[in-house]
Amino acid sequence: MLEREITISNRLGLHARASAKLVQALHGFEASASIACRGKEVNAKSIMGVMMLAAGPGTAVTLRTDGPEAEQAMQAMLDLFERKFDEGE
Amino acid sequence: MTVGVLLMTHESMGHALVGAARHVLGRLPLPVDVQEVAADADPEQMLRMAAAQARELDCGAGVLVLSDLYGATPCNIARRLPDLGVRMHCVSGLNLPMLLRVLNYPEQSLDELAQTAASGGRGGIVVDNP
User: Is residue B127, in this structure, part of any structural domain at all?
Assistant: no
pLDDT tens track for B4-51: 999 999 999 999 999 999 999 999 999 999 999 999 999 999 999 999
pLDDT band per the 50, 70, 90 thresholds, residue B121: very high
pLDDT tens track for A57-77: 999 999 999 999 999 999 999
Mean pLDDT of A43-60: 93
Selected for mutation to probe chain B from A15, A48, A53, A86 (highest B CB count within 10 Å) is A48
Question: How many Cβ atoms are within 10 Å of B115's Cβ, its own excluded?
Answer: 12
What is the C-alpha separation between B91 and B6, in angstroms, rounded? 11
Structure pTM?
Answer: 0.90
pLDDT band per the 50, 70, 90 thresholds, residue B130: confident
- CATH code reported for the domain at A2-84: 3.30.1340.10
User: Is residue B129, in this structure, part of any structural domain at all?
Assistant: no
Does A89 score more than 70 pLDDT? no
ipTM of the predicted assembly exceeds 0.90: no
Does A88 score more than 80 pLDDT? no
Question: How many Cβ atoms are within 10 Å of A27's Cβ, its own excluded?
Answer: 12
Q: What CATH number should be reported for the domain holding residue B32? A: 3.40.50.510
pLDDT tens track for B75-110: 999 999 999 999 999 999 999 999 999 999 999 999
User: Is residue B130, in this structure, part of any structural domain at all?
Assistant: no
User: Is residue B45, in this structure, part of any structural domain at all?
Assistant: yes
Question: How many Cβ atoms are within 10 Å of B122's Cβ, its own excluded?
Answer: 12
What is the C-alpha separation between A11 and B110, in angstroms, rounded? 38
Q: How many domains does chain B have?
A: 1
Note down the domain range covering B41.
4-122
Q: Cβ contacts of residue B122 below 8 Å, gap of 6+?
A: none
- Residues in chain B closer than 8 A to A23 (CB atoms): 104
pLDDT of residue B26: 92
B121 vs A: CB within 8 A: no
